[in-house]
């Protein structure tokens, strides 16, 4: 039986050839054969030249998702095993110290719509495409064989599944097990409940970005006017020796703190005091628990509040921090929502940079892939203009090594993370 063929139109953008992993309905000229949803089809150009094999889903705007660029490749259980094993080997190569990381990152690991995160000895699976959905037993079998995990938990409970015509699903794949795990990252312990957390529980994508805080955290006591006496001990303006061992560490504001991962890294690297703000009581409890777990509780402060209100209130109160961190959720869930989202990003960044002491640091991120890096930077420039600040870039980073980016697919390049020095103007 021959595999159904999807002929692409002659006059289309050559996106697929440029590495983009999706075909949209408008790009298809005709379909030969009678594929059902989830079936494999061969994608060919207008003259029938083979381009790729993909999973077909007529209910989705992503009508075909590329799974292999080889015509000979059998799309079978063995292929799933091989791809997952390769993805894992890549992580062991690039992030060898990480026992917890993203193992499979969907399209960028050539498994469209499949996310696998490893939390020590627990695996969390998220399936976002019909092609993987109907073959999911192959995924579970491969995971059991490669990792021999304590358990597999499925978090296919995200609304985007509806766009594929899929119901939401969450729960144990096999036997129930304790769903809490401890992630160790850059020497920090983070307790995660994979059944409870956002997304699949923890945001591995900022591992390297959190580590980038290291050189920024100390030196602030001296910058802020604390002097050393003849014995080299820090003294306050009255000449009294300061006992706080973290006297030279930064005062940090961590907005949208969730697990508190930025707070934890700040404390690890020597912060004097970190204020965490999150709208969710549950998130605040989680961050507090993590501070306790790492022995940082006495250097932290927790506030359950809407960051938009909190930032404005602190500006009015003329409070200042050495470092302000803004790691908001994706404000733009789709392309249409972009301009509204930009206003939101601009507002928090504008207020956030006003709270930074002169020559302090603003750390700001956006995980909306609809917001391009260029628009992210222009938004920051507009905010800086309004706040009478000049920003000097220290670092610009993306998602970490376990979140590969396909050059042809801007969707896989969603995370923007920038560190700025903030100067008064
Ligand atoms: N920095 C976090 C990840 C941020 S996730 C970490 O390191 O784990 C986004 C967080 O923003 C969520 O915890 C959510 O509860 C919180 N949030 C969403 N809207 C908010 C708002 N308006 N004010 C404050 N927090 C908000």
Note the pLDDT tens digit of each residue in 397-414.
Answer: 999 999 999 988 877 889
Active site residues: 367
Q: What distances in angstroms separate CA 399 from CA 105, 190, 413, one per listed residue?
A: 11, 19, 8
Within 10 angstroms of residue 21's Cβ, the number of other Cβ atoms is 25
Atom of ligand 1 nearest to the CA of 306: 23
342 backbone dihedrals φ, ψ, rounded to 5° = -60, -40
What H or E segment, with its residue span, contains residue 352?
A: helix 338-354
CA distances from 346 to 326, 351, 382, 383 (A): 11, 9, 8, 6
CA distance 99 to 91: 10
Cα 278 to ligand 1 centre (Å): 5
pLDDT digits (tens, 9 = 90+) for 83-92: 999 999 999 9
How does the average pLDDT of the chain come out, rounded? 95
**What is the C-alpha to C-alpha distance for residues 121 and 152, in angstroms, rounded to an integer?**
9
Atom of ligand 1 nearest to the CA of 282: 15
Instruction: Name the residue at shortest CA distance from atom 9 of ligand 1.
Output: 329
**Atom 3 of ligand 1, nearest CA residue:** 258
Three-state DSSP class for 303?
strand
C-beta separation of 284 from 276 below 8 A = yes
pLDDT at 413: 86
pTM for this predicted structure: 0.93
Give dist(CA 274, CA 300) in Å, integer: 5
User: Which of 259, 291, 329 is the best mutation target for the ligand 1 pocket, counting ligand atoms within 8 Å of the beta carbon and taking the most?
Assistant: 329
DSSP state for residue 225 in the 8-state scheme? T
Query: What is the share, in percent, of the chain residues with pLDDT greater than 70?
Result: 99
Q: Which of the pair, 202 or 316, is modelled with greater confidence? A: 316
Q: Residue 32 in 3-state DSSP? A: strand
* Residue 22 confidence class, pLDDT cut points 50, 70, 90: very high
Query: What are the helix and strand counts (H, E) for the chain?
Result: 10, 22
Distance of CA 214 to the CA centre of its chain: 20
List ligand 1's pocket residues with C-beta within 6 A: 203, 256-259, 261-262, 277-280, 283, 306-308, 327-329
Å from CA of 311 to ligand 1 middle: 14
């Amino acid at each position: 039986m021959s595999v159904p063929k999807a002929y692409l139109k002659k006059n289309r953008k050559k996106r697929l050839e440029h590495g983009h992993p999706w075909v949209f309905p408008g790009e298809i000229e005709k379909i030969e054969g009678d594929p059902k949803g989830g079936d494999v089809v061969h994608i060919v150009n207008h003259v029938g030249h083979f381009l790729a094999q993909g999973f077909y889903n007529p209910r989705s705007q992503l009508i075909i998702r590329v799974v292999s660029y080889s015509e000979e490749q059998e799309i079978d259980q063995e292929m799933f095993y091989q791809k997952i094993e390769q993805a894992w080997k890549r992580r062991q190569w690039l992030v060898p110290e990480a026992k917890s990381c993203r193992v499979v990152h969907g399209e960028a690991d050539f498994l469209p719509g499949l996310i696998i995160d490893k939390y020590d000895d627990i695996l969390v699976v998220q399936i976002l495409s019909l092609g993987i959905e109907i073959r999911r037993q192959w995924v579970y079998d491969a995971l059991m064989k490669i990792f021999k995990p304590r358990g597999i938990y499925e978090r296919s409970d995200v609304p985007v599944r509806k766009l594929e015509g899929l119901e939401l699903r969450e729960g144990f794949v096999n036997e129930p097990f304790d769903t809490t795990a401890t992630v160790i990252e850059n020497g920090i312990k983070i307790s995660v409940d994979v059944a409870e957390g956002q997304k699949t529980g923890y945001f591995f994508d900022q591992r390297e970005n959190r580590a980038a805080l290291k050189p920024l955290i100390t030196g602030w006591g001296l910058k802020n006017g604390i002097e050393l006496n003849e014995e080299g001990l820090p003294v306050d303006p009255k000449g009294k020796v300061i006992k706080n061992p973290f006297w030279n560490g930064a005062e940090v504001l961590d907005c949208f703190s969730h697990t508190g991962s930025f707070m934890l890294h700040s404390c690890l690297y020597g912060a004097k005091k970190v204020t965490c703000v999150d709208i969710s009581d549950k998130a605040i409890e989680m961050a507090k628990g993590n501070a306790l777990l790492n022995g940082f509780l006495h250097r932290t402060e927790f506030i359950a509040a809407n960051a938009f209100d909190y930032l404005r209130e602190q500006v009015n109160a003329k409070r200042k921090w050495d470092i302000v961190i803004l790691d908001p959720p994706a404000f733009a869930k789709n392309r249409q929502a972009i301009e509204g989202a930009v206003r939101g990003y601009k507002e928090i960044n504008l207020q956030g940079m006003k709270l930074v002491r002169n020559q302090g640091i603003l750390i700001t991120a956006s995980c909306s892939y609809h917001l391009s890096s260029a628009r992210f930077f222009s938004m920051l420039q507009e905010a800086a203009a309004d706040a009478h600040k000049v920003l000097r870039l220290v670092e610009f980073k993306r998602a970490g090594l376990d979140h590969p980016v396909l050059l042809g697919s801007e969707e896989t390049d969603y995370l923007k993370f920038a560190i700025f020095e903030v100067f008064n103007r």
